[in-house]
Amino acid sequence: MRMQGNPVSGGIGIGPVLTYRPVLPPVRERFVEKGQTEEERERYRAVIKELMGDLRKLSSSKDAGGQMAIFETHAELLADPATMESVFDLIDGGICAEWAVHIAFLHFADLMRDSDNAITRERSADFEDLRRKLLCRLSGTKQQDLSHLEEACVLVAEELLPSDVAALDAPKVNAIVTERGGATSHAAILARSLGIPMLMQVEDCTGKLLPGETVIVDAREGFMIARPGATELLLYTGKQKDWLRDRQEAVDSRFQPARTQDGEDVSLMLNVGGEVPMPDEVAACGGVGLLRSEFLFLERSAPPSEEEQFSHYRAVLAACVGKPVTLRTLDVGGDKTVPYLNMRQEENPFLGLRGLRLCLAQPELFRTQLRAALRASVFGPMQIMFPMVGSIEEFEQAKRFVEAVKEELVQEGHHFRRNMPVGVMIEVPSLALMGEELAQAVDFASIGTNDLCQYLNAADRMNDGVASYYDPCHPALWRLIASLGKAFSRAGKSLCICGEAAGSPAFMAAAYGLGISSFSMGLASIGPSKRALRVLNAKKLRREAARLPKMSTSEEVRRLLMEFANGEPLGL
């Protein structure tokens, strides 16, 4: 029996089904007298203290990619005065701690689930996770223990919460299959960082699959096979072996030079969100090519202060020990809404007040961030870039803003890097078509293929219904990349690609052949990219890639990229 799913963490896993059915203890709906409310508050305080201790231990545990830091976020959610107040208010209203936790956390999870923003929606699982943990602790209920598994398995569940994945006995989990969840959920992010193949949205898998029966999960292609025949088993055991060898090689490649077969060094950088990169991440890359600073602004009730931003940027620079860091200024709007910024409801938010447009419309917000960034710039080679820029005038307006902030800092006697490079993300076609002039105006630039591709193809990047129109192989995109590569090479300025496509070794190879000098990607893509570079000849790449801007169909582009992929999936 073949079942389709959404592959959110690539790979192949085979093994007996282990069905996970988390227990949610029944909520005791108990009224309490006035005199007992302090006792209930105390019960709540005690479990919070215990849980926060466990979460902080989890968050500081070493993992590939620093992803466990999400448990620090969980701890912050618990400690947030608004969360505490909601539960205490309910208890003071005359109900027991369990009931109050149930109502308050269900309410938070519902609020998140109703958001227009995909990332906030995924966060609803985090509140569910906390609700379950608190209720278990309050009632002394034990969960099925996933941290010590008897034998290797394929874990099957309706939904996995982040702490379920974090607690996993990972070496014994060959694959994970769930009915619910999305690629940007923390559970999926954790599975990717642990290197466990994962399929989501597999319909009724907990009902259709029997515990103990063997299944094959192909999370490269996006399906699974239940009760496979002997031939299928043999075939996929071979594929799994190849994939495991590949994965190990890719991890080993992480710390090797990013060099082509004929000795050209390519700059491979790291994309980071709200976390400070770990030493092994820094060792694997040439620096941070994209610091998505908006992560500091999400999931909170007020913007981070100048001091808070300053210490974070300084921490990132310190962690990078002299390697360059490109800080992207606040990029909200589009799919990322921030309630406290009083953003207007827009019919087409991706074409609305987002990125730099929003910063220019809210100068105080922009000013605070620039002050923090400039002050931090003395701690390492930092450069800043603006997202969602449509014209050279917009860039110049933002640059004047930076100059004014510098003037202010001079007056106040602050130190900062006077000649800090300032650049743009190339995401809007109107700017992408101005390569020659742009290369003169900016210090550097980075192509954001996630957005450039959606605007060029007129296909919303979040809309599954038009996914086939969102085409990174469209020859128009390659014409733009080629002309930008030429313009920036001529001007002697650095041009990076930092969208998801940079993590596809074949895409990177083709763009390198067209003069793009640097690529910024997630940690998981660094090893495979370095390994791919080792067998590529740069001169041949340039010769072959020169054909791309002359192609007229996406199919032709795809065929050439497949040649650069050396038999690996394109990953686009």
Which residues of this chain interact with ligand PEP, rule CB under 6 A?
290, 292, 331, 427, 448-451, 498-499
- Which CB atom, from 55 or from 353, has the smaller least distance to ligand PEP? 353
Instruction: Given the residues 102, 186, 312, 474, select the one marked as catalytic.
Output: 186
For residue 415, indicate whether it is catalytic: no
- Which CB atom, from 18 or from 290, has the smaller least distance to ligand PEP? 290
Contact (CB, 8 A) for 189 and 53:
no
- Which CB atom, from 240 or from 329, has the smaller least distance to Mg ion? 329
User: Which of 448, 472, 522, 528 lies at the binding interface for Mg ion (CB under 5 A)?
Assistant: 448
- Which CB atom, from 15 or from 522, has the smaller least distance to ligand PEP? 522
* Min separation Cβ 250 and ligand PEP, Å: 22
CA distance 496 to 503: 12
User: What are the residues facing 290 on neighbouring strands?
Assistant: 271
* Min separation Cβ 151 and ligand PEP, Å: 40
What residue 449 binds from Mg ion, ligand PEP, none (CB within 5 to 8 A, per partner kind)?
A: ligand PEP
* Min separation Cβ 384 and Mg ion, Å: 15
3-state DSSP call for residue 256? Answer: coil
CA distance 3 to 208: 10
What residue 499 binds from ligand PEP, Mg ion, none (CB within 5 to 8 A, per partner kind)?
A: ligand PEP
CA distance 511 to 535: 16
Residue reference for tokens 């602790």: 137
* Min separation Cβ 451 and Mg ion, Å: 4
- Which CB atom, from 328 or from 417, has the smaller least distance to Mg ion? 328
* Min separation Cβ 293 and ligand PEP, Å: 10
Which of 173, 227, 175, 223 is CA-nearest to residue 203? 223
User: Which of 40, 164, 394, 451 lies at the binding interface for Mg ion (CB under 5 A)?
Assistant: 451
Question: Are β-strands 6-9 and 288-292 bridged in parallel, bridged antiparallel, or unpaired?
Answer: unpaired
What residue 13 binds from Mg ion, ligand PEP, none (CB within 5 to 8 A, per partner kind)?
A: none
Which of 506, 478, 524 is CA-nearest to residue 563? 506
For residue 498, indicate whether it is catalytic: yes
- Only segment of 169-177, 205-213, 227-235, 423-431 that touches Mg ion (CB under 5 A): 423-431
Q: Which helix (H) or strand (E) holds 199?
A: strand 198-200
Half-sphere exposure of 521 (CA within 13 A, CB side): 23
Which of 147, 176, 202, 122 is CA-nearest to residue 11? 176
Please, what is the Cα angle at 468 between 466 and 470, to 5 degrees? 75
Which of 503, 504, 486 is CA-nearest to residue 495? 486
* Min separation Cβ 519 and Mg ion, Å: 16
What residue 281 binds from Mg ion, ligand PEP, none (CB within 5 to 8 A, per partner kind)?
A: none
- Which CB atom, from 448 or from 505, has the smaller least distance to Mg ion? 448
Is residue 507 classed exposed, middle or buried when 0-12, 13-18 and 19+ CB atoms within 10 A define those classes? buried
What is the binding site for Mg ion (CB under 5 A)? 427, 448, 451
Which active-site residues does the annotation give? 186, 498
